[in-house]
Structure 1
Amino acid sequence: MSQKPVLAISHKVALSVGGIIRYRLKLLPSHAKNIDKLQFRIRNSAPIYRNITPSSGPWKIAVALIRNPDKLPVVPELVPSISCAQVCRLYASVNHDDDEGCNEWELEVLSEMILQPNWIDIKVEVYVPQVLLPSVLSCDYKDTRAICGPARPEDVLRAGDEQGLHLVLLTHGIHGSWLDMLYIKEQIDAHNRDNGKTITFLTDTNHAGTEEGIQMAGQRVAMDILEWTGYCDTEQGQQLRTAFASTTSKSTTATAATTSAQNKTIAKPFPRGISKVSIIGHSLGGLINVYALGFIEEITQGAFFRTIQPAHFITLASPLLGVGFEHPWVLGYALSLGVIGQTGKDLALENRSTKPKRSASPATSLSPASSMVSQKHSASASASAPGLSMECTLDKGPEPLLLAMARPGSASNRVLKQFLDRTSYANIENDMAVKFNTASMMGIPSFDMDQFFSPEGAATQPKKSIYHSALVSVLALLIPQIPPRARFLGIADAPSPVVIVERVEAGSVEKPDGTFEAQDAITTTTTGDNGREAKKNKTNKKAESVNSTVPSDRSTSISTTGSSSYSWKSASSSSSNEVSTKSRLDLALLVSEGYHTGMDWTKIGVFIEYEAHVQIIVRRKWYNLDGWKCVQDLAERFNFT
């Protein structure tokens, strides 16, 4: 006769956008012989009518149950979608031949909502046979902030240390959350655990606010950095905090309040033991970071980066040159009309001459009433902080914001040049959102994409159309696929998705004839086991045409005529009308030229076969398995000590 299970653990919790909770459960060895299995019940307590309100986001949760999570290889049991008012039941068998840590499980529950800051009520229950007492099952619980939040500097600095911490900031993309960058944070922490000098900081200030424009999102990230490093506790920083506090949105105010509360327990002044800073951004997050760097440089009058050394600047599938010149024209047109708000216009390289001047506040207003209040607060803030310039030069002028940030001499460009290195990861294929040329700033000169996808090339799959990529991406979002057990077991032997790494020296920009001039370019091609070769060489010759990196079947191939290249001298002195008449491709070339003037870049091509845009960062740890080795490459390639 089967035993009636007894409730051992019951916990109710609410998850918001990008929320995650983890339970670490362990069955004491002395009781293992009395039980065959444990039962887990996870209930999505959101009312059932929420299933028909997709406009506010998918009201679903996902569950992963991992046995012995500290032992490799790990094969989780996954439930990708639990809808409103549904219950998921999972059973965990007990190993009677118990040894240390053999009967240990990690239960992970995460929210799949991506659009609005709503909350889902969740109930987690664990049942054991009646012969056992609840006390035999230990449970360690961590909420979203405990998992994603950064450590405090005083908890990391060793006794007697005053300096030496390396701050690594990670910024998510549009409609994202800090959960998107969690896997990268965990891998960086794991690779640098022994040095005791690395702090990873997931900024979450742009939750549900990424459509408000790169300017607003960048200012929020900048304020997060200034608050956390203690700059806002300095005399000028206090004025800055006062000026911004009255104009922030509700979500930003809550984040700033939490950050300030944490900082009050930190006795150390700016820079709180931090000597280096590295910046990592995914998708739109890369552009948000570029703006934030320029904003910090101007608002602190250069004091921040004179105190804290910029180390690594890294982008992952970021549309550095904007969006539209590689996609069907209808996408660029839709973005220019504001389909995804001001952010879409920024990405479409829309001229700002016809737009009203935007406020320098870190958040936009959501209604006319709030706009009036914001203006009132802004005026009072300026009065309370005399002499403090709240405007950033990047916000002035009519030209597209992406072009303004790339201009040589701009605040963002100046800070980028101070970094020890700059690296862009770009998906070669299967990225519907951010194509290869914009993510790598007009391609990698010596990489021949046509050859890569030829029968003799290194691609394991034939080239797919943009429509196929779009369909795969949408289906992956709506119906997450569970990787088979064999892929988890064989991930250690899987080839690396990084197929080419090339360093392009400063001044390697597109020539009027459509070629790149590479000076002492160090090229490293990293290959896997499928016929790819590893090589290192130095060249001092003209690289291949950008046309070679664009498949011939694309309707928006890169032009090789002289009209596609402009000198900065003439461009900087051109009128707003001249800039507004240029095509998106011409503007993208100007942006690319700005980023290649006076600074070198390491460009990394990544080939992921499925839904590459989120796989490259492993947006969901157990579902985006193909990106594990790409994140591993990032964690091992850079020194974050």
Structure 2
Amino acid sequence: MSSDLLLYTDRQEVGIGDVYRYRFTVDVSQLPPGTQELYLRIKNVESPLLRPFYMSGPYSFYVDVRPCKYDEDKEWEETMQYCCDLRPDEYFHAKFLINENSLLEGSRHSWTVDILSQICVTAGPRVKYKLKLGTTRKSTKQREPKTLESCIDVQTWDTLQLWDIPPKDSEKPVHLVIMTHGIFSNVGCDMLYMKERIEKAALNSDDDACNIVVRGCMDNMGKSSHGIRFLGVRLGKYVLRIYDELSEKYNVDKISFVGHSLGGPTQTMAIHYIVLERPDFFENVQPVNFIALASPFLGVANDMPLFVSLGLTIGTFGITGRDLTLKHTPLTSTEGFATMDSDGKKRSLRRPIMELLPLSPAQEILQKFQNRTLYASVLHDGIVPLRTAALLYLDWRSLAKVGQLRHEQQKSNRDDKENDDTPVDTPGASPPTEPSSNTTFMSNSNGVTGIIPEAPLDKTATAQFFMPHKMVKYRKYARAQVTDSKNPDGSSESDDQEFTSPSKINQEEAKFNPPREASTILAALSVITSPLPTQEYIKYPNTRTDSIVHDRLYHPSELPPPHYESRPFYKKIIYPNESNNKLQEEIAISWQKSMTWRKVLVDLKPDAHNNIVVRRRFVNLFGNVAVRHMAETHFGGK
């Protein structure tokens, strides 16, 4: 038998949101003697002339290879092979090592290959590729495979099949989980990792509430600019349709929503639509989890550079851009919105949609959810910055106080490591914990209390510390400081002092170091230029430094008095952002005045906006700590 055997070949094409998965199972006892590895060759067969056309594509795809025993949460010794962006007319070569890592049983070894489309803007383009697997690199250049049906078994799944996994027990009540993507994103590829982490967490739980099916609406891919109302109505129609289909086979009695970025407001709009179409829906189906990751619930009017905000306002990103800059777009449909308030008064719909989202009837439904959780990046997310992703109000004062201990703790840890060679776990490997009203920070298992990261102190920063703009910056955070905040030791700050209004802030209180504000421009560039995880980072979870730095329940009673409620008219002239600040404050209060929210802050590397959902398994693995926490806490029975 020749040693140059082409075992398998395939040609496929992928479009926006498309993923193609291969599972190769090979009986190595039937391969030529001495075969220690197999060779994979994948080519993007599109013309190289398409490489510059990024906005209409890009015409590329992501590839990764995983032996059957690989687990991102466990230590691993083998180099992981992947290509973050296989562009037109380029090749990807990988080796299937025949060893213990790939051993399935007996002489059978198995590997999984994922191919995910990178097309993100329009739904039209398709990218073609060729895949070959052989016993030598030379064999992958052959045209036709040898007939060895008993040697190799290949299972394939496309996007629809991967997103149509049944519940683990069809006889028990089913918990429906709806996932929603953000701008320039899609469900099929970008939320696949998070979907499978949720399924993995549920599979390992004996709780009946974890008998889940995960579904995602693919009707909105490529339509991000059509506006939140448009996207939410389509999502609402999808939820009702998929519920009806599943109810024919299962007893669906629970529902959860998980949204990333624009998916947070979109799933809220869907709730509005569902309640109007079927008022009894949430009486028959129990709402369990409402989860949003890096979602701009307050818009981005005050968080973007002026030229970006103006561009969004004038319609460079369609109706969605105006929605996010808190502008009302006339002559648009009002489908999905109630025309009457809960008290029977007629409601004006000529308002920004972000202002309408937290109102009834969605507000009453949101109150019924068992869990309402927000995940936000502390740094490196200039797309959806911390203040809007965390609904403005946080325990900023305690975060700053604990931050002052950072340097002492780091020095102490360095000294301990020099004197102790015993390995320790890290935040990335620590299991999630339940928060309480007294829980301000998650204590990492290596003894370092999770804190808001800060920039290294330099002479310029020290000189500017007491400059007037420092006071202005502090006031911005002081206005969003919750009252009766808890100290790290569990005691209440109100025991020592009353809440101090921003107008009474003195120089001593101005010694405050909030997290750095992320740059929108750098965040956009980081999508293309962000660092990739090292092999050490991928293989050894105990080397990962990404962590959850804040995890706490926030109650309505902690909201401070509105700052912009009764302001003199002249301040609207002096401060050009006065009206936007007032509107953001009103929206934030509407979201939080009648319900408790769990706010989880994470410290992730750039590009944090995509990392927080692990858009691609290895490229965005920095966000695994957030996805794992979300999945195990809300769907793992913990």
**What TM-score, normalized to structure 2?**
0.72
Instruction: Quickly say closer, same or farther: Cα 1:63–1:329, change in 2 above 3 A.
Output: same
Match of 2:469 in 1: none
Q: What is the CA–CA distance in structure 1 between the aligned matches of 2:197 and 2:577, rounded to whole Å? A: 45
Question: Which consecutive unaligned segments of at least 5 residues does structure 1 have?
Answer: 231-262, 361-389, 515-560, 567-579
1:61/1:80 contact within 8 Å kept: yes
1:37/1:94 contact within 8 Å kept: yes
Post-superposition CA distance 1:123-156 (Å, at most 9, x none): 1111225798633122221112222x1335xx65
2:93 aligned to 45, 66, 89, which one?
A: 89
Instruction: Quickly say closer, same or farther: Cα 1:565–1:200, change in 2 above 3 A.
Output: farther
Match of 1:503 in 2: 553
Partner AA of 1:168 in structure 2: V
1:343 aligned to 320, 336, 340, which one?
A: 320
Q: What is the CA–CA distance in structure 2 between the aligned matches of 1:165 and 1:617, rounded to whole Å? A: 24
After superposition, residues 3-402 of structure 1 pair within 5 angstroms as 5-31=4-30, 33-70=33-70, 72-74=74-76, 75-95=79-99, 100=104, 103-117=109-123, 118-128=125-135, 134-135=148-149, 136-147=151-162, 149-152=163-166, 156-159=168-171, 161=172, 164-178=173-187, 179-194=189-204, 195=206, 197-230=211-244, 263=245, 267-268=248-249, 272-300=250-278, 302-352=279-329, 355-358=330-333, 360=335, 392-393=338-339, 397-402=349-354
Partner AA of 2:90 in structure 1: Q
Post-superposition CA distance 1:417-459 (Å, at most 9, x none): 1212211111111101011111111131255454566573645
Q: What is the CA–CA distance in structure 1 between the aligned matches of 2:592 and 2:517, rounded to whole Å? A: 28
Deviation of residue 503 (structure 1)?
1.1
Partner AA of 1:437 in structure 2: R
Q: What is the CA–CA distance in structure 1 between the aligned matches of 2:568 and 2:256, rounded to whole Å? A: 32
1:37/1:91 contact within 8 Å kept: yes
Q: What is the CA–CA distance in structure 1 between the aligned matches of 2:169 and 2:67, rounded to whole Å? A: 34
Q: What is the CA–CA distance in structure 1 between the aligned matches of 2:356 and 2:104, rounded to whole Å? A: 59
Post-superposition CA distance 1:149-185 (Å, at most 9, x none): 1335xx65444x4xx2111111111111112211111
Match of 2:356 in 1: 404
Match of 2:472 in 1: none
The reply to whether residue 591 of structure 1 matches residue 587 of structure 2 is yes
1:322/1:438 contact within 8 Å kept: yes
Match of 1:435 in 2: 385
Point out 4+ residue stretches in structure 1 off by more than 6 angstroms: none
Instruction: Quickly say closer, same or farther: Cα 1:144–1:507, change in 2 above 3 A.
Output: same
Post-superposition CA distance 1:458-511 (Å, at most 9, x none): 45662796676633x444433564321111122256356211112111343231
Match of 2:343 in 1: none
2:201/2:636 contact within 8 Å kept: no
Q: What is the CA–CA distance in structure 2 between the aligned matches of 1:99 and 1:51, rounded to whole Å? A: 39
Q: What is the CA–CA distance in structure 2 between the aligned matches of 1:226 and 1:98, rounded to whole Å? A: 42
Match of 2:417 in 1: none
Match of 1:445 in 2: 395
**What TM-score, normalized to structure 1?**
0.72
Post-superposition CA distance 1:88-124 (Å, at most 9, x none): 2223343499954584222221111110112111111
SS of corresponding position for 1:292: helix
After superposition, residues 452-531 of structure 1 pair within 5 angstroms as 456=406, 458=451, 462=455, 470-471=521-522, 473-479=523-529, 481-492=531-542, 494=544, 497-512=547-562
Q: What is the CA–CA distance in structure 2 between the aligned matches of 1:321 and 1:56, rounded to whole Å? A: 30
Post-superposition CA distance 1:171-207 (Å, at most 9, x none): 1111111122111111111111154711111222210
Partner AA of 2:7 in structure 1: A
1:172/1:181 contact within 8 Å kept: yes
Post-superposition CA distance 1:583-621 (Å, at most 9, x none): 211110000111112111111111113221111111111
Q: What is the CA–CA distance in structure 1 between the aligned matches of 2:126 and 2:548, rounded to whole Å? A: 38
Partner AA of 1:227 in structure 2: R
Match of 1:628 in 2: 624
Q: What is the CA–CA distance in structure 1 between the aligned matches of 2:102 and 2:362, rounded to whole Å? A: 58
Post-superposition CA distance 1:361-392 (Å, at most 9, x none): xxxxxxxxxxxxxxxxxxxxxxxxxxxxx764
Partner AA of 1:281 in structure 2: G
SS of corresponding position for 1:150: coil
SS of corresponding position for 1:18: coil
1:469/1:611 contact within 8 Å kept: no
Post-superposition CA distance 1:322-343 (Å, at most 9, x none): 1121333333222211121101
